[in-house]
Structures are given as structure tokens and as C-alpha cells.
Amino acid sequence: MRVLRTPGAVLAALLVVVGLSSCEEQKVTRYEPGKYSGAPVASPWDSPQYGGKQAEWEAAIQARTQGQNDYARIPAK
């Protein structure tokens, strides 16, 4: 390795390394979610059927969901 024997060559190599490192892409270390750009979403209880009554809608959905439990529908032996 004759190339890096002189101090000038070492300095030049160092300058190249430092110079190229400044070209490195900046790392994203923190993710920031974007802001929703679309149209607003209506709440499911803001429907003609429930007219904004959230509690009524919640009760209906809970009952409907629980209706999928066949152990609750069929009496235990």
C-alpha cells in the first residue's frame, strides 16, 4: 500500500470519508402520523334509526354481538 504513506494522502482520504458521510440520508427516528385528508365520518348512532342516541345504539350492538354466543342461546345440559 504505497498510496496512503504520505500525510497528504491520508488527509485526502479522511476528507473524502467525512465529505461523503454528509451525503447520508437523514434517518427518520420518530414517526409522526399524517392528518386525515378525507371527508368526515359520521358516528354510527347518528343514523335515522338512532337519531344520535349513542346508548341505544351501544345496547343494540351489544345484544346483537352477544346473540352470536350459542352457549347463551342453548341451555346448558
Binding site for other proteins (CB under 8 A): 31, 33-47, 49-50, 57-58, 60-62, 64-66, 68-71
DSSP string, 16-50: HHHHHHTTSPPP--S--PPPP-S-----TTSSTTT
Residue 49 C-beta: closest distance to other proteins, Å = 5
Report whether 57 contacts 45 (CB < 8 A): yes
Residue 42 C-beta: closest distance to other proteins, Å = 7
Nearer of residues 5 and 73 to other proteins, judged by Cβ: 73
Nearer of residues 6 and 49 to other proteins, judged by Cβ: 49
Residue 69 C-beta: closest distance to other proteins, Å = 4
Q: What whole-number distance in Å separates Cα of residue 50 and Cα of residue 55?
A: 9
